[in-house]
Amino acid sequence: MSILVNKNSRIIVQGFTGTEGTFHATQMIEYGTQVVGGVTPNKGGSSHLERPVFNTVEDAVKTTGADVSIIFVPPAFAADAIMEATEAGIGLVICITEGIPVQDMVKVRNYLQGTKTRLIGPNCPGVITPGECKVGIMPGFVFKAGKIGIVSKSGTLTYEAADQVVKAGLGISTAVGIGGDPIIGTPTKEAVELLMNDPGTEGIVMIGEIGGSMEAEAARWIKENSRKPVVGFIAGQTAPPGRRMGHAGAIIGGADDTAAAKMKIMAECGITVVQTPADIGATMAKVLKK
């Protein structure tokens, strides 16, 4: 089992013919992902990577039956791309684009309310169900199929956690990079809840970072609803207050935003907290045996 994407997912690429879209669509196709076409305005009717190109998401959905879209559109146009995919009835939109203005994402968040579309990202590495479907920019070879779900704000730490889990003799059910911007489509709690309800997932790795309250909210939900072991890590343990570290959302705005505060809350809520990503795999193996 898995969450969000699987071997039956039908993916279109918005920004298909651009440099980033071309490169990562090629990687996705080589992985075995069902990329059924792409969207580039004014290039409809042409072919790219042996897939059809459409002018609009609506045209792509009508022709291909796509249910997932991945977005490689420049920041100034990415919000419109997300809303276009939503309007076309796409169930899952994964936005890789970094640097989308916050006020644009406020509009997107409001637009998504009441729709059936789930947004992953923006500024994220995507989603992968190993051996079935890779919708994103992650190195597929790192991920091996198994029963550990990963939720992470950081792309690099997603890959590191997957590598550690695999080296511990475990594998990944689905890994979700939720994105590091201040406003994202799917917060940590929602992604954890999806994995908690997935019968194919036996344990969950939750990776957060300084800034915001998503990890604390997820931890409190886990305390009340956990049926599976959760191993947690918070990046930015040495970050000074008021300094943004990497992601736009990674800035300490209050006492509860620090790594230490988040790790304390997580531990109090029953999450096994590690001090370094290098311990994620071995720790998960231990807690599964309890």
**Omega into 122 within 30° of 0, i.e. cis?**
yes
Domain of residue 158, CATH code:
3.40.50.261
For the annotated catalytic residues, the residue numbers are 247
Residue 102 lies in domain: 11-120
Under the banding of pLDDT at 50, 70 and 90, the label for residue 250 is: very low
Please tell me whether residues 259 and 165 are part of one structural domain. Answer: yes
User: What single-letter amino acid sits at 188?
Assistant: T
pTM for the full predicted model: 0.94
Domain count, the chain: 2
Whether residue 133 is contained in a domain is answered as no
Measured over the CA atoms of residue 276, residue 123, residue 250 and residue 217, the dihedral's sign is: negative
Please tell me whether residues 190 and 236 are part of one structural domain. Answer: yes
Q: Encoding tokens for residue 278?
A: 């290098």
Mean pLDDT on 138-155 = 96
Question: In this structure, are strands 11-14 and 133-136 parallel, antiparallel, or unpaired?
Answer: unpaired
Q: Encoding tokens for residue 232?
A: 């947690």
* Segment holding 52, helix H or strand E: strand 51-54
Whether residue 35 is contained in a domain is answered as yes
Q: pLDDT for 163-185, tens place per residue?
A: 999 999 999 999 999 998 999 99
Q: pLDDT for 171-225, tens place per residue?
A: 999 999 999 899 999 999 999 999 999 999 999 999 998 888 899 999 999 999 9
Please tell me whether residues 23 and 56 are part of one structural domain. Answer: yes
Please tell me whether residues 147 and 269 are part of one structural domain. Answer: yes
Whether residue 253 is contained in a domain is answered as yes
Separation of alpha carbons 53 and 57, rounded Å:
10
pLDDT greater than 60 at residue 234: yes
Provide the percentage of residues in the chain whose pLDDT is more than 70: 93
Q: pLDDT for 20-64, tens place per residue?
A: 999 999 999 999 999 999 999 999 999 999 999 999 999 999 999
